[in-house]
Structure 1
Amino acid sequence: MIKYFIVLLLFFFVSCGSNKSKLSDNNYFNRNYFYNDSLKVGIDFDKNVQFREISFDKEKEFRQLLKSNKLSSKDLFLVAAAKEKGLEMYFFYQNVPSSSVKSNNIKTVISDTVNNTLFLEKQKGKRKVLGLVKTTSAKDNNSSIFVNDLLNKIAIDSLNTRKISFISIFMNNFPDVHPNPLFASKKLESAPIKSVGGEDDKFQFLSTVNASISNNKLYDTLIVGYEKERKEKFNSLIIDLSNKDDVYKDNAVFGKISEIAKENQVIMLNEDHYYPKHRLFAMELLETLKGNGYNYLSLEGFNSKSSEKESTPNYKNGIYTDEPYFAHFIRKAIALGFTVSGHENFDKGIDRELGQAKNVIKILEKDPKAKIFVYVGHSHIEKKNEKKKWLAEYFKELSGINPITINQTVICADTKQDLTLMPCKYFNDTTKVKSSADYFLVNNMKPSLKIIYPNAAFKKAIIRGSKFSDYKNKQVLVEIVDFKEFDLMKNLAIPIESYLMIPKNGTINFELPTGKYHIFIKTEDDEIIYDDDLIVG
Structure 2
Amino acid sequence: MNKIITLLITLLLISGCSPKINEHFEQNRYVKNFNVHLVNDSLQLYFKSPSDITYTRERKALKKVIRNVGFKLKDSVLVYGKTLDPPYEYFVTVSRNGQQEYPENLVVFDTLINNKTIQFVGNPLAENSKRTLEIDLNTIFKSLEVGESYRKEISTIMDIVQKHKNSNKFYAILNEIHEFPVYDKQEEWTKLQMALTFSSFLGKNEFYDTYLNQLESRFKPNDTISKKIIENSKTGNDVIETIIKEAEKHKIVMINENHYYSNHRLLVSDVLVKLKEIGYKYLALEALGIKQDSLLNLKNAYPTLESGFYTSEQNYSNLIRKAKELGYEFIAYENTDHTKNREIGQAENLYNKTFKIDPESKVLVLAGIDHILEKPTSRGKEWMATIFKNTYNIDPLTISQTHLNSYRNLIKSTYGIISSNFFNNERLSSVDYLVLNNNQTNVIQNLFTSFNYKNNREDNVQVALFYGNEIKNKYDYHKKVPYFTTILKSGKKQELPIDENQKTHLYTFDENGKLIDEQIITTNSNR
Under a length normalisation based on structure 1, what TM-score does the superposition of the two structures give?
Answer: 0.63
Q: 2:366 aligns with which of 371, 375, 378?
A: 375
Q: Which residue in 2 is equivalent to 1:452?
A: 444
- In structure 1, distance between residues paired with 2:223 and 2:466: 38
Report the 3-state secondary structure (helix = DSSP H, G, I; strand = E; otherwise coil) of the residue aligned with 2:451.
Answer: strand
- In structure 2, distance between residues paired with 1:500 and 1:214: 8
Q: 5 Å matches for 1:398-409?
A: 398-409=391-402
What amino acid sits opposite 2:496 in the alignment?
E
Q: Which residue in 2 is equivalent to 1:260?
A: 246
Shift, 1:493, TM fit:
1.9
Q: 1:220 aligns with which of 209, 213, 216?
A: 209
Q: Answer yes or no: is 1:510 the counterpart of 2:510.
A: no
Q: Which residue in 1 is equivalent to 2:465?
A: 480
Q: Answer yes or no: is 1:347 the counterpart of 2:332.
A: no
Higher alpha-carbon deviation: 407-416 or 161-170? 161-170
Shift, 1:181, TM fit:
1.4
What amino acid sits opposite 1:346 in the alignment?
T
Q: 5 Å matches for 1:381-400?
A: 381-384=372-375, 385-387=377-379, 388-400=381-393
- In structure 1, distance between residues paired with 2:188 and 2:269: 27
Contact 2:293 2:331 in 1 (8 A): no
Shift, 1:318, TM fit:
0.6
- In structure 2, distance between residues paired with 1:490 and 1:288: 33
Contact 2:373 2:427 in 1 (8 A): no
Q: Which residue in 2 is equivalent to 1:98?
A: none
- In structure 2, distance between residues paired with 1:518 and 1:10: 36
Shift, 1:407, TM fit:
0.7
Shift, 1:452, TM fit:
2.3
Q: Answer yes or no: is 1:194 the counterpart of 2:179.
A: no
Shift, 1:536, TM fit:
3.1
Contact 1:427 1:433 in 2 (8 A): no
Would the alpha carbon gap of residues 446 and 528 (structure 1) be closer, same or farther in structure 2, given more than 3 Å must change? same
- In structure 2, distance between residues paired with 1:190 and 1:159: 21
- In structure 2, distance between residues paired with 1:374 and 1:288: 15
Q: Which residue in 1 is equivalent to 2:130?
A: none
Q: 1:410 aligns with which of 403, 414, 418?
A: 403
Q: Which residue in 2 is equivalent to 1:60?
A: none
What amino acid sits opposite 2:438 in the alignment?
N
Contact 1:164 1:193 in 2 (8 A): no
Q: 1:171 aligns with which of 159, 162, 183?
A: 162
Contact 2:423 2:429 in 1 (8 A): no
1:187-228 Cα distance to aligned partner (Å, 9 max, x none): 111113235279711111111111111231111111123234
Contact 1:195 1:202 in 2 (8 A): no
What amino acid sits opposite 2:325 in the alignment?
A
Q: 1:338 aligns with which of 328, 343, 352?
A: 328
Report the 3-state secondary structure (helix = DSSP H, G, I; strand = E; otherwise coil) of the residue aligned with 1:358.
Answer: helix
Q: 1:528 aligns with which of 515, 519, 526?
A: 515
Q: Which residue in 2 is equivalent to 1:182?
A: 171
- In structure 1, distance between residues paired with 2:272 and 2:216: 27
Q: Report percent identity of matched pairs.
A: 25
Shift, 1:458, TM fit:
2.3
Would the alpha carbon gap of residues 422 and 275 (structure 1) be closer, same or farther in structure 2, given more than 3 Å must change? same
Report the 3-state secondary structure (helix = DSSP H, G, I; strand = E; otherwise coil) of the residue aligned with 1:357.
Answer: helix
Q: Which residue in 2 is equivalent to 1:425?
A: 421
What amino acid sits opposite 1:367 in the alignment?
D
- In structure 2, distance between residues paired with 1:215 and 1:352: 33
- In structure 1, distance between residues paired with 2:496 and 2:287: 32
Q: Which runs of 5+ in 2 are unaligned?
A: 1-31, 40-147
1:71-116 Cα distance to aligned partner (Å, 9 max, x none): xxxxxxxxxxxxxxxxxxxxxxxxxxxxxxxxxxxxxxxxxxxxxx
What amino acid sits opposite 2:268 in the alignment?
A
Report the 3-state secondary structure (helix = DSSP H, G, I; strand = E; otherwise coil) of the residue aligned with 1:397.
Answer: helix
Q: Which residue in 1 is equivalent to 2:357?
A: 366
Report the 3-state secondary structure (helix = DSSP H, G, I; strand = E; otherwise coil) of the residue aligned with 2:302.
Answer: coil
Would the alpha carbon gap of residues 481 and 459 (structure 1) be closer, same or farther in structure 2, given more than 3 Å must change? same
What amino acid sits opposite 1:438 in the alignment?
D
- In structure 1, distance between residues paired with 2:184 and 2:518: 36
- In structure 2, distance between residues paired with 1:282 and 1:199: 31
Would the alpha carbon gap of residues 331 and 239 (structure 1) be closer, same or farther in structure 2, given more than 3 Å must change? farther
Would the alpha carbon gap of residues 372 and 306 (structure 1) be closer, same or farther in structure 2, given more than 3 Å must change? closer
Q: Answer yes or no: is 1:491 the counterpart of 2:478.
A: yes
1:325-362 Cα distance to aligned partner (Å, 9 max, x none): 00011111111111012101111121111111011111
- In structure 1, distance between residues paired with 2:422 and 2:494: 47
Contact 1:343 1:359 in 2 (8 A): yes
1:54-73 Cα distance to aligned partner (Å, 9 max, x none): xxxxxxxxxxxxxxxxxxxx
Contact 1:277 1:446 in 2 (8 A): yes
Q: Which residue in 1 is equivalent to 2:8?
A: none
Shift, 1:305, TM fit:
5.9
- In structure 1, distance between residues paired with 2:331 and 2:216: 31
- In structure 2, distance between residues paired with 1:256 and 1:248: 9
Q: Which residue in 1 is equivalent to 2:264?
A: 278
What amino acid sits opposite 1:511 in the alignment?
L
Would the alpha carbon gap of residues 308 and 333 (structure 1) be closer, same or farther in structure 2, given more than 3 Å must change? closer
- In structure 1, distance between residues paired with 2:282 and 2:402: 23
Q: Which residue in 2 is equivalent to 1:441?
A: 435
Q: Which residue in 1 is equivalent to 2:12?
A: none
What amino acid sits opposite 2:221 in the alignment?
K
Q: Answer yes or no: is 1:233 the counterpart of 2:221.
A: yes
Q: Which residue in 1 is equivalent to 2:111?
A: none
Shift, 1:242, TM fit:
3.5
Would the alpha carbon gap of residues 424 and 170 (structure 1) be closer, same or farther in structure 2, given more than 3 Å must change? same
Q: Which residue in 1 is equivalent to 2:347?
A: 357
Higher alpha-carbon deviation: 417-426 or 233-242? 233-242
Report the 3-state secondary structure (helix = DSSP H, G, I; strand = E; otherwise coil) of the residue aligned with 2:512.
Answer: coil
Would the alpha carbon gap of residues 484 and 400 (structure 1) be closer, same or farther in structure 2, given more than 3 Å must change? same
Higher alpha-carbon deviation: 368-377 or 234-243? 234-243
- In structure 2, distance between residues paired with 1:460 and 1:333: 26
Shift, 1:368, TM fit:
0.2
- In structure 2, distance between residues paired with 1:391 and 1:319: 21
- In structure 1, distance between residues paired with 2:477 and 2:228: 51
Report the 3-state secondary structure (helix = DSSP H, G, I; strand = E; otherwise coil) of the residue aligned with 1:386.
Answer: coil
Contact 1:161 1:193 in 2 (8 A): no
1:129-167 Cα distance to aligned partner (Å, 9 max, x none): xxxxxxxxxxxxxxxxxxxxxxxxxxxx97836602121
Shift, 1:240, TM fit:
5.0
RMSD: 2.9
Under a length normalisation based on structure 2, what TM-score does the superposition of the two structures give?
Answer: 0.65
Q: Which runs of 5+ in 1 are unaligned?
A: 1-8, 12-29, 34-156
Q: 5 Å matches for 1:47-126?
A: none
Shift, 1:306, TM fit:
4.5
